[in-house]
Every structure is written in C-alpha cells, then in structure tokens.
Structure 1
Amino acid sequence: MPASDMPEANATAPQATLSRPDSAFREVTDHNGRVYRIGETDRQLMGRSRVWMVILPWFAMMAISSSEYAFTSAEETLAEGHNWHGAHIFWLLGVWVFFQAAIAFPAGKLRENGTLSARNAMILGAVGTVLGYLALAYAPNVFWAYLGFGFFGGSGAGLVYATCVNMVGKWYPERKGGKTGFVNGGFAYGSVPFIFLFKSYMDTSNYGGVLLVVGLFLAATVAASGFFFKDPPKNWWPAHVDPLTVATDDPRVRRSLLKNPPADHQYTPMEAVRTGVLPLMWFCLLCTAGVNIFGIAFQVPFGDEMGFAGGIVALAMSLKAIINGTGRGVIGWISDRYGRRQTLTFVCVVLGLSQFAVYFSGSIGSLPLFLMASMVSGFGGGAIFPLFAAMTADYFGENNNASNYGLVYSSKLVSGLVGSGLGAVVVAAWGYGGAFILAGSIGLFAGGLSLFLRRPKPVIPATPPDALALSRA
C-alpha cells in the first residue's frame, strides 16, 4: 500500500474538538480538516440498532434482483408469448440496465440535498418494480415493454439499489466492506427461486399471471423494507470508535481502518472527478460490469446451444447467482482485512480467466466444468460491485457518497448496452468463442487498470482547525 494511503499520521495529527453543550454530540476535526460527528449512538438516532440498516436493505435488494438475473430464464417464453423476434430480449435487458444505472447520480443528488428521502425513494422504486413486471406480462407490443420494463422497471431498481448500498455505508463508515458486500449480495441470490420458476414452470399459457403475482410480491417487499429507512446525520461516526486514531479494542475495526483508512476529505462530485481517480474507477467498472452482464445475458443461450438440458442450464445460472451474491459478502469481508484495491485486482483477474473457462467447458461438453466455471464467473462478476461501492466512500467520504458512487456506477449505462445488446452483435459476428475470449481479455485488462487506483489527497486546501472553530463560534 502506498505511504499516502496509510493512516498512522492521524494518530498524532493536530485536532480540534467542537463541543455543543446543548446537544448529545460533539465534532472533532482531523489534520486534513475533515469533521467527524461523534457521541451519538445508533439507538439514540433511530430507536433501534443500526443492524436494521443492513437487514432491511438486504431484503429490498433481493426483491429487485430477479429483474436482471432471472430475466434471461424467461426469454424463450416471453419471445414466443409476445411474438418478439430478433434480439429484442437482449436489448430489453440492456435498456433495463441502462436506466438502472442512469438514475443513480440524479437520485443521489436529490437524496443529499433533502429533496428525496430514503423512504420515498424506496416507494418510487417499488412502483417502478411492479410496472416493469406488468409490462412484461401484458405489453401489447415491444415498445411498451421497453417503456415499462426498460425505463420504469430499470429506474425503479436503480433507486432501490442506490439507496440500499449508500444506506449501509453511512451507518457503518468504520467497517463498510463486509456489510456493503452482504447487502449487495442480495441483488444476485435473491433471484434464484425466480430463475427456476421462469425457466421450469412458466410457459405461454400462464406467464401473464405468474409475472403479475411476482411483481406485486416483490414491490410490496421493497415498499415494506423502505418504510423504515433512515439516514444518519452528516459526518456521523459511531461513538465507540475514535476516528482520529486506529487504536480500538475491536481488532476487526482496527485492521479495517489500517487497510482502508477514511477519506482525507468529504469530496463533492466535481472535486472527486478532478482528482482523476473517479474517472479511472468509472472506466474500470465499465469493463468489469460489461463482462458480468455479458455472462448473465449469454450463459443460458450458450448452454442451450452446447446441448445441456434446460434444467441443467437453470441450475448453472442459479449457482452463478448464488455464488455471485454470497461472493459479494465474502469479498467485502476480505477487503476489510487485506485492502480494497488489492482485492479488486484479484477479482478482476478471476473474472477474466473464468470467461475462458466457461467457453472451454461448454465447447467440450463437460457439465461439471461448465457448472464450476459458471460459479467462478459469478463470484468475479458479483464481487466488483461492493468493492467499488466501499472504495468510493473510502476515497471520497460518506457525505456525498450517493452522488459520487452514482457517478462511478453510471458506467453501467454503457456496460449494460455493451454486455447485452452489443454482446449479441459480437456473438452473431464472431460466435460464442470470439465473444467469450473478448470478454475474458477485457476482464484481465481491467485488472491491470486497477493497479493504478490510489486514495486521493484533497484537491482544495483543508480549512485550518482554528479557523473552523472560529466559524462555528
């Protein structure tokens, strides 16, 4: 780890303490001018343990996951039932991913300026979820499917995703990797029951009713979970952890802060962009997310073409989703121990190599290898998202994390269309072999890019502690 990323200096840095006698909290300032609000517990702020801001977002993330991970399991039924020809199914998924990512930054800005509360964002997400399923069930033509599922469904899922990921990071600023990974994991393995439902039990005679019931159930889950969401105050830091030193009785917190020290400054989006680090994160996520979405979109049709039975292909996709989700929690825990950037490089390499393994195992007709490669691919494809989410807060702070991560996550605007829609073009032109080799090469390239990621130093001079104290007097 570069010396600039090490936090030991915080332990001896000059600091200022801003006390407010009429309040339960006080504010301390580190040597970079970053302010921490300490003294208030989670129970004082919302009447319950902050663990609920892990459990509730986890349920909501599981509820929206089927729209992405289970969608291709329903592609044959939808294409036949609606008489959709050509690559509409793949472009539908690409459009859904586009709007799921597009909503992240504007939603983050609205959340941070107080225009949109977390609860209202989740309610809007629930509405978008049910509209997406209604469109898939009853759209009279493909335009309404693009509008209902692609625009409303994707935007709704994006609101839920962005709100959930940022919520857990705000409540666990001192050890966010494992918690963010756990919540993020629900976005994958929550789809497993629906993969089997759509692939094995839904057909052209019942798909409308099945999709309607599923949409209503998932929307209700999102709305019920989001009703209890609450943000902590700006600059909040847990009362039992000293933000100015890594000295703490909890070895997990101490190890996490040593490997992933807090940001030196609460960056605004434009400040984060000017560091050059955020654009590099954007491009790295573009590459890895594109490879992940390519695998989601084409593993099922590739398995079908290689002669594997439909139930086996559904099993492979389910295993991919399970490992994709559980891997997010595991990799978050690993990144707390060994560092976010180091873990990201490892994951990119795994993601790239697994694409070669998926194609090789399918081309020789080896079912065990195909299942194993699918699981490894799922692990790599899922682990990138919680790493980037936690890394964004590590590098740029928590106060503007909804907007900053919204900018990073906006790379999925492009990667969704490339991985799904353009992926169909590449498969048609080069075959599955050329497409999987290209995807694997892009994953390895992203691993090389990740080596250049570093925690930035403040782009503006930090306010001296004494001046800050005077401004607050």
Structure 2
Amino acid sequence: MTTTDLPSACPYREVQDRNGRIYRIGETDRDVMGRPRWTMVLFPWIGMMAISSSEYAFTSAEDTLHDAHAWSSGNIFWLMGVWVFFQAAVAFPAGQLRESGRLPARNAMMLGALGTLLGYFSLAYAPHVIVAYFGYGMFSGIGAGLVYATCVNMVGKWYPERKGGKTGLVNGGFAYGAVPFVFLFTSYLDLHNYQGVFVFVGALCCAGLAVSGWFFRDPPKNWWPADVDPLKRTDDPRILRALEKNPPAVKQYTPREAARTPVLWMMWFCLLCTAGINIFGIAMQVPFGKDMGFAGGIVATAMSLKAIVNGTGRGVIGWISDRYGRRNTLIFVCVVLGLAQYGVLASGKLGVMPLFLVCSMVSGFGGGAIFPLFAAMTADYFGENHNATNYGMVYSSKLISGLVGSGVGAIAVDLWDYEGAFVIAGSVGLGSAVLATFLRSPGRPSPRKIRPNPMPISREAM
C-alpha cells in the first residue's frame, strides 16, 4: 500500500511593525510563481523597450510623415502630445483595475500589444491626420500606458526592500529601447518604404509585448522576501543602506488616504514640470539641431545618445537613490535637467557640435531619471499594495506635461524662438529642484520634532 502526499500551500505568516504595517513573510519567490523574482525584472524590461519607439523615435520620422501624408509640423507635434496625453491618462484607471483584480497583468500587456500595433498601422495607412490621432494618439497611447503602469509597478512589488535600482533598470528600457528605431527612421525611412517599415516595427513591438506579458505574475498582497526580516536589522549592507535612506512607508495608504496628503500633489506638480521639460527636449531637439545647421546624421546621433543616456540614467539613478536617498537624488536631477536646457541652447547657437552632443546627453539623463525616482518614491511614501493607483495619480500629471512639452512648446518656439523656449524650460527645472526640497514621507515625524523621553525605560523609580 502506498500513500500520496497532497500538495499544500506554502506556510506564511503576517507580522506587524510598530507603525501597524503588515508584512507577509515565509514564502519565497519560487513558492509563489515557480521561478526566481529576477524574471519579473527581465520581462517588464523587455515590455518597456517594446513601447519606447512610439515616443522616443517618433520625431525622427517627422520628415517622412510630412512628405507622405502632407501633415504639417504642428499636426505632428500635437500628434505626439495626444499620444502622451492618453499614455498618462490611462495610468490611474489602469491601476484601479489592476488592484481590483479585474485587469490581470497578462491581459494588460496583451491590450498594450494590440494598441501598439494599431498605432503603427495608422501611421502607415491613415488617409487623414484625424485617423492618426485616433490610431496612434489614442489607441497606441492607451496601450503604452497600460504597459508602462503594469511594468513599473510590478518591479516594486517583487523588490519592496530594494526597489530603486530595479525600478530604474526597467524604466530605462522605455528610452534606450528606441535607439535602433531612431537610426532606422532617420537613415532608412523614406517615401518608398515607410509603410512596410512602420508595419514591421509595429509587428515586432507587438510580439515583444505579447511574449513578455505572458509571464507576468503579481505577488500576494503585503508580500515580503522570505530571506529579509522586516522587523530586524539586516546584515546585508546593500539592503541596510537602502532601508535606512528610504525607509518603508509607515502604512499601506489607500488611494483615498494618499490623495488627502499634500505631499502627493506636490509630487504631482513636480513631475508635471520635469516631465514637460523632458517631452519638450524630445520634441524640439531634432528640429532645433537642424535649424542650427547640424547635419541630419549628427542630429540623429544626438537623439540616440539622448535616448541611451535617458535609459541608462534611469537605472543608475535608481541605484544612486538607494544609496543617498530618493529626495536628495531628485533635487540633484532637477538641477541637472534645468541647467542642461541652457547648455543645449548655447551649444546650438554657437554651433559647437561636441558640446551640443554632451548637453543633449545630460538633458536625456535628467529627463529620464525623474520617472523611476517618482515611481520608487511613491512606493516609499505610500506603500506597495496600492502603488499602481497611487503612482497613477502622480503620473497623471503627464496628461498636461505631454501637451505642454510638445504642443505648447511648439507655440513657445513660434512666439519667442528657441531662446525663449529653452530659457523657460531651464528655469522651470531649477524651480522644480526647490519644490523637491519640501517632499517628506507622510505620517513619519520629522527628526527635529522628536523630543527625548524625560523618563527613559531604564530609569528606576526610587
């Protein structure tokens, strides 16, 4: 006679810290999904690279779109603004649907793949710019927003103890994944092949999103790595440093509770300003370089370097923020982003190509670094359980920043030429650095306000 052991769920227990926050411990990543959690960095990273071309490579196809469809430059810039609008608009509702269980991560990625494919098909075959506004601006923007919200928040859930570097790495794919397409659109795209090229790129990105999204899996609510005790001081210096500089949220804030804190709306406005500068640089750097007399190859190289540094900077800045604190790093990034706008303007006006490339890279670094910082900071301040919705509220500022950076940026260039537009962008960046100094984790008392206990526990009453 033989017996068969029935499978049973891996035992876990929930512990509570002094702030009342609950941690679910005892389950490893393999217990939850049957594979190591680094795969939930790899697959989101691939997904982010697959949607990057829709934003960062789009302006490189401006000349071909203008000649092929007779669209004006204003229409093309506003087309990008509409894409950014919908990409940001979907972040909050997507977060709510994800956390309620009505939109599994895998389904969100599949919808994103479909939207990306429709976007490129509309660029190839749209009979009128209105069709492109719906196909590329709305459907592709919504698809990219679903992918972005799913990928970024997934990493923070699987790495709650050290999320900065991992979030930055995944977020970086949203920029440097566009580099091959920047060169493809700049050097190869023309009136004879644009339809085939757009269809090929759309199918390639769609396949990448579908394949990577198939492996997505959320951890249980309140999950914490089994090898890291949330109530004790860890011996791992990397985790110890990250938790000291960026302590976990005092509790898991619901979206309603987070919306009542002033710090969330300060983060919203700070991201509005910095993201607007980033979109402005993406939209205006190519035409500015061409107007300053730089060759098309130089401009393409500058845009590619901007995308590379934009992406790699996101990963590096996440690692730096784990070491030195998210708020301090954000202040530094805002200063760099603001000063870089003055540098791009000066180098273009002087015709100094090497300086133009350097300033373009520095601008790309600052513009890319803000997004993983805010993603990780939202989880640090408000917890991981509702991070998709909470970060969706913060990220919704890109609704306005996309239109301001591309559409209004084009208007500013018409009114005040490039000098006025770049000076305004640089000043806004420096102002954002001042605003960032006021960001504090809600519910956590300031060290200056903590008074020593006049009756320590160790003192015995006589």
Q: Deviations over 1:386-433 (max 9, x none)?
A: 000000000000000000000000000000000000000000000000
Give the CA deviation at 1:240: 0.8
Equivalents in 1 of 2:364, 2:288: separation in Å?
15
Alpha carbons 2:153, 2:388 under 8 Å: kept: yes
Q: State how many pairs are aligned.
A: 438
1:467 aligned residue: none
**How far 1:458 moved relative to its partner?**
7.6
User: Which residue of the partner structure matches residue 392 of structure 2?
Assistant: 406
Give the 3-state SS of the residue equivalent to 1:237 in structure 2. coil
RMSD: 1.1
- The reply on whether 1:451 has 2:446 as its aligned counterpart is no
- What is the match of residue 64 of structure 1? 51
* Matching of residue 28 in structure 1 with residue 24 in structure 2: no
Displacement after TM superposition at 1:249 (Å): 2.2
- Tell me, yes or no, if structure 1 residue 154 matches structure 2 residue 141: yes
CA distance in 1, matches of 2:243, 2:444: 19
Is 1:183 aligned with 2:166?
A: no
1:314 to 2:300 alignment: yes
1:232-251 correspondence runs (5 A): 232-245=219-232, 247-251=233-237
- Displacement of 1:145: 0.3
Q: Select 2:61's aligned residue among 57, 74, 88.
A: 74
1:101 pairs, out of 65, 72, 88, with 88
Tell me the residue number matched to 1:45: 32
Distance 2:145 2:47 in 1: 12
Structure 2 residue runs without a partner (length 5+)? 1-7, 446-462
Q: CA separation in 2, counterparts of 1:394 and 1:150?
A: 32
Provide TM-score, normalisation by structure 2.
0.94
Shift of 1:204: 1.1
Q: Are residues 46 and 438 of structure 1, via their aligned partners in 2, closer, same or farther at CA, if it must alter by over 3 Å?
A: same
* 2-structure distance, mates of 1:282, 1:79: 35
Give the secondary structure class of the aligned counterpart of 2:23: strand
Rounded Cα–Cα distance in structure 2 between residues aligned with 1:244 and 1:152: 45
The residue number in structure 1 matching 2:451 is none
**Structure 1 gap segments, 5+ residues each:** 1-20, 460-473
| Corresponding residue of 1:114 | 101
More off after superposition, 21-30 vs 294-303: 21-30
Cα 1:119/1:406, change in 2 over 3 Å? same
1:387 aligns with one of 368, 373, 394: 373
Within 5 Å, which residues of 2 pair with 1:159-174?
159-174=146-161
- Deviations along 1:158-190, one digit per CA (max 9) or x if unpaired, are 000000000000000000000000000000000
The reply to whether residue 349 of structure 1 matches residue 321 of structure 2 is no
Moved over 2 A (4+): none
Cα distance in 1 for partners of 2:437, 2:258 equals 19
Amino acid at match of 2:49: M
Q: Which amino acid aligns with 2:345?
A: Y
1:297 to 279, 283, 292: 283
Q: Which amino acid aligns with 2:397?
A: S
1:331-365 deviations in Å (ceiling 9; x for gaps)? 00000000000000000000000000000000000
Q: What is the alpha-carbon distance in structure 2 between the residues aligned to residue 335 and residue 182 of structure 1?
A: 13
Please point out which of 309, 320, 335 is paired with 1:334. Answer: 320
CA distance in 2, matches of 1:103, 1:22: 35
Q: 2: distance between equivalents of 1:204 and 1:449?
A: 47
2:360 is aligned with 1:374? yes
TM-score by length of 1: 0.92
d(CA) in 2 for partners of 1:121, 1:51: 20
The residue number in structure 2 matching 1:211 is 198
Q: Secondary structure at the match of 1:65?
A: helix
**Contact 1:265–1:458 under 8 Å retained in 2:** no
Q: Judging changes above 3 Å, is the alpha-carbon distance between structure 1 residues 218 and 22 closer, same or farther for their aligned structure 2 residues?
A: closer
1:422 paired to 2:422? no
Q: Give the counterpart letter for 2:293 in structure 1.
A: G
Query: More displaced, 268-277 or 152-161?
Result: 268-277
| CA gap 1:318/1:86 in 2 versus in 1, 3 angstroms | closer
CA deviation map 1:66-119 (0-9, x unaligned)? 000000000010011001125001000000000000000000000000000000
Q: Give the match for residue 72 of structure 2.
A: 85
Q: CA deviation at 1:22?
A: 7.5
